[in-house]
Structure 1
């Protein structure tokens, strides 16, 4: 029996046990953005530490930060073999609106071979798979083919504000030959993909203040600036009619898309009609001159994520509100800098600020974009492991989303990053009814286990090129 057959037998025999364990993990409401879940964050960290121990990892610790803790564990007895640093996160997004969930967000339920719960896909399910791959290899062989280090944080969903400092302070502890992250997705059902590029992020909140309090719209309307009108005017100024961002200098540092990449994306034969049906729109909209994949993988964006102000209850209230605001995020591409983009946003907002209001801009999440050569041996080896299990070629793609800490790993530890995900874009992460296709859970366990063997065939020098 070869190692892939052994892995298959092990995971088949343990499937229900593993699913029940994952459900226990998913029941913990580890929402990092909400302070009332601080104890749940600690509970999730303790759960991970116990899971590390059961898998055979050593040197376990729950490392405190200025926010939520980082959980660490390792196994370092494969002499002369490469060392893998695996990163993931145990925090999850808030669950609102709760009424749209078909089952409780923290009451895991399997329907149609999909596991429904907040965190099922992003990122607890994928973290769990790596732990179980280690456990399988330890149970089968009593050892691992490579050295491993695990670092699982609790603040990814709020921008990882404390992890960069943690990495800086623990360079020696985190020293490795490659970094593996499973917080990305596949190209489509049955279509594995290695992500070699991520967009960065810059987020701000715009607050508009008018009168000192709400005013009667009949008495004051027409003579006093309405903050909702003002915020609407600012937001409308961000794009032209064709979707191009109008902020001065916004595109200055955007790296042009290589012809080879454009050709590779065309070869994927992306089905825009199927996408429209899947998300329920009759037309796609975006920057002219670029395909949908190019727009969402390689071009920057400026999106309004929320608008607030005035009365929105049942019926009508004839009020002229004193305040209004909006939250916006920009997805950035190589070689854009989040700090520079925020400065340009501030200048644009100041230039387009209507009379009669004061405007405040508050900065939030920031993260640099990331890109790495997709011909790196560690990335190509991951593609081979996917192909053994899925029996189809692996696509090499970029991703429209952001994992802000990836660029920090790249810059601080100077290591190649392998983004091998098992989620699907249709799995509602960050939305109600988040779920994880169990087909990819099952196959992903085998892919990860095989990948450790693939990496064992490389020297450290090969992987650090």
Structure 2
């Protein structure tokens, strides 16, 4: 690719008008139907194939895509034995119409734009507002509440709306393919076999558009510059074969929970949350540090204020729980380039009403370790196992069983045409410059695609802005932002040299 950026031939007002109409008249309603489907990812629904919810979400999306009657579009649902399905569509390149001066239509390269999304969901979780629920969509104050609408059911619909905006103006564009998976929330372990099977059909990918990421605010276009990796598994501490009377045994039989605390102290400084193994850390590249400083200057204390902090009344004033840091730059780096540990589940505990005076035989925690973008996740899993299992206190049986890993991603260098196209799209539709932000989550596909298509530019963006609360209660899709993002995607595609 050369560095020249062609001036956009799109009528921006028309693009936004058409996209807005598509969202208002159709897409919001399609997403309401999608939210009603409990299409939980295989990690959370072992019987996903028998239950059929993933197939329903996939079939609904495929039927809608076909109904759009995009010129030249072909589509198929592809199934590999024993794996979740993927939706694959293809739109041939178009040279567009002759220009207004009567000159020739734009020449189109043989390169490909790859549009990505997923249709599987996280589980329900608790704490939803009394009038909301994970599978009961509600459109309120321009926000569409419900599980999966923003993460990431909207992606396939927004992708087609962007393509339709190009087609309606007969704009030139490269070949476009779409890859919509249904295993992302489980770590995308089914995706690589599909990429291998489809490699020749993907073509020479010059631009990846991934609509499964976040936004620093709802006032500008945001490009994701990095993603953390993840390693997860179950840590179990067993000290007895069955529960025993706590009065009889405590003081002689060590608590499995106390042993668990000791073992986790090898991994994390509980006073600060800092991960102790040096191999889980990496140096932040200079360009990412500069971007973090610029982004921190834009977002300021909203980087931590956007979370639903616990609070309570204290002598007439409200006290709020505190973040690990109130420095905006450090806050941003902590959630994008620092390793962190979360306990996302527990077993071995009775509920309160059944919690008698019993010393429990075991404690098990599900661990989620977020890793800096440049740390290899598979290696980290092996290091975790050795660190946690060796030389167990009291010779207890301590086991760590890894459940999955995905190495993070650091975006390739930004080509001049791409940087200028992003800036132009953000100014056009948001009247603000494009922002660059690292994300603390993981999208396994991006590391795969960067290795498979090292020269491709990566437009990783999304609608998960402040308080959208993906994976948690009251998840919502900010529809006005989604409309502008859809329009921006169309404009960037139109400006590919």
Question: Normalised by the size of structure 1, how large is the TM-score?
Answer: 0.90
Residues 18 and 245 (structure 1), Cα distance of their counterparts in 2 relative to 1, 3 Å cut: closer
Work out whether 1:75 is the aligned partner of 2:91. yes
The question of whether the paired residues in 2 share the 8 Å contact of 1:310 and 1:319 is answered with no
Say yes or no: does 1:180 pair with 2:189: no
| Structure 1 residues 305-384: aligned runs within 5 Å | 305-314=344-353, 316-351=355-390, 353-376=392-415, 377-384=417-424
Aligned to 2:274: 244
- Distance (Å, rounded) in 2 between the aligned partners of 1:17 and 1:231: 51
Give matches, 1:79-90, under 5 Å.
80-81=108-109, 82-90=111-119
CA distance in 1, matches of 2:404, 2:45: 16
8 Å Cα contact 1:209-1:324 kept in structure 2: yes
CA distance in 2, matches of 1:124, 1:207: 35
Unaligned runs of 5+ in 2: 1-8, 96-107, 310-319
Secondary structure of 2:363's partner? Answer: strand
Structure 2 CA distance, aligned partners of 1:229 and 1:383?
A: 53
Equivalent residue, structure 1, for 2:244: 215
Structure-2 residue corresponding to 1:11: 19
In the other structure, the counterpart of 1:60 is 75
Counterparts of residues 247-326 of structure 1 (less than 5 Å)? 247=277, 249-251=279-281, 254-258=282-286, 260-268=287-295, 269=297, 270-272=299-301, 275-276=304-305, 278-280=307-309, 281-285=320-324, 291-314=330-353, 316-326=355-365
Q: Which residue number corresponds to residue 105 of structure 2? A: none
Whether contact under 8 Å (1:224, 1:356) holds in the other structure is no
Question: What's the CA shift for 1:129?
Answer: 1.1
Q: Which residue matches 1:452?
A: 493
Query: Is the deviation greater in 288-297 or in 63-72?
Result: 288-297
- Which one of 137, 144, 167 corresponds to residue 115 of structure 1? 144
CA distance in 1, matches of 2:145, 2:174: 33
Tell me the residue number matched to 1:423.
Answer: 464
Of the structure 1 ranges 364-373 and 155-164, higher mean CA displacement relative to structure 2 is found in 364-373
Query: SS of the counterpart of 1:125?
Result: helix
1:195 aligns with 2:211: no
Report whether the alignment pairs 1:404 with 2:444.
Answer: yes
Structure 1, 29-38 or 423-432: larger mean CA deviation: 29-38
Distance 1:62 1:421, change over 3 A: same
Secondary structure in 2 matching 1:17: helix
Stretch of structure 1 that moved more, 55-64 or 284-293: 284-293
Deviations 1:296-353 (A, max 9, x none): 1222223332333232322740111112111112222243111221122122212462
Which residue in the other structure is 1:35 paired with?
A: 46
Residue equivalent to 1:235: 264
Q: CA separation in 1, counterparts of 2:172 and 2:210?
A: 19
1:106 corresponds, among 110, 135, 139, to 135
In structure 2, C-alpha distance between the alignment counterparts of 1:187 and 1:238, rounded to whole Å: 30
Residue 58 of structure 2 corresponds to 45
For these two proteins, the number of residue pairs brought into alignment is 452
Change in Cα spacing, 1:136 to 1:50, as seen in structure 2 (3 Å) is farther
CA 1:306 to 1:193, structure 2 compared with 1: closer, same or farther past 3 Å?
same
State how far apart, in whole Å, the 2-side matches of 1:261 and 1:148 are: 30
Aligned 8 A contact 1:102 1:433 in 2:
no
- How far the C-alpha of 1:8 sits from its partner, in A, is 2.6
**Is the Cα–Cα contact under 8 Å of residues 192 and 422 in structure 1 kept in the other structure?**
no
The 8 Å contact of residues 188 and 444 in structure 2, kept in 1 or not, is answered as yes
TM-score normalised to the size of structure 2?
0.84
Change (3 A) 1:173 1:273: closer
Give the deviation of 1:421 after TM superposition. Answer: 1.9
The reply on whether 1:164 has 2:175 as its aligned counterpart is no
How far did 1:181 drift?
0.2
Going from structure 1 to structure 2, the CA distance change for 1:263 and 1:144 (only over 3 Å counts) comes to closer
- Aligned partners of 1:350 and 1:21: how far apart in 2? 48
- How far has the Cα of 1:273 moved from its partner? 6.5
